Amino acid sequence: MISKKLHEALNAQINAELWSAYLYLSMSLDAENKGLKGVANWFHIQFKEEQDHARILMNYVLSRDAEVKLAPIAEVRTSWKSALEMFKDTLEHEKKVTGLIHNLAAIAAEDKDYASSNMLVWFINEQVEEEENAREMIAAFDAVESNKFGLYMLDKELAARTYQVPSPLAAKEA
């Protein structure tokens, strides 16, 4: 049994992950509209990952005999000046998500809910990776911002990114 406070926070996080998915879908569509198919691919994979993050949390809440409560998804931004701006927004967004995950971990620790604490370790590690990926993309796009050929090459590289099912879901599908 999870505490009421943690249950509410997990439901809020599920909805935050779905909002994140919606944001990244919007970025993907804007990049596609700008002819940046690689950037669109990168953000489309982010969209799928965020949906999976929500699913992992949903599975966990249900496994603890608690109810998942979905809320309406708030509107997201739909246009950015450049791919660089998208990645800068991504980093800021991921920092906020990191704070939300840390809050969940603090509640679980306060509750001495070791199962929830253990489950959240995966998310904590995932957020380190998410922020690092965004910083790397910012550095790459910053380096090629005024170089059209560089942008072309970087966009081609991003088009090769493939989707990986997160390990907590892969285990369920096996």
Tell me the mean pLDDT per 10 residues along the chain, length 174: 97 98 98 95 97 98 98 97 96 98 98 98 97 92 74 75 84 66
The 3-state DSSP class for residue 15 equals: helix
Q: Which two tokens stand for residue 112?
A: 């001495």
* Owner of token pair 């790397």: 136
Instruction: Round to whole Å and give the CA distance between 68 and 59.
Output: 9
Question: What is the reported pTM?
Answer: 0.85
Q: Which spans in 36-166 are helix H?
A: 37-63, 83-110, 114-144, 148-159
Residue positions counted in the chain = 174
pLDDT, tens digit, 9 for 90 and up, residues 136-166: 899 888 877 766 667 667 777 877 888 888 8
4-162: in CATH 1.20.1260.10:
yes
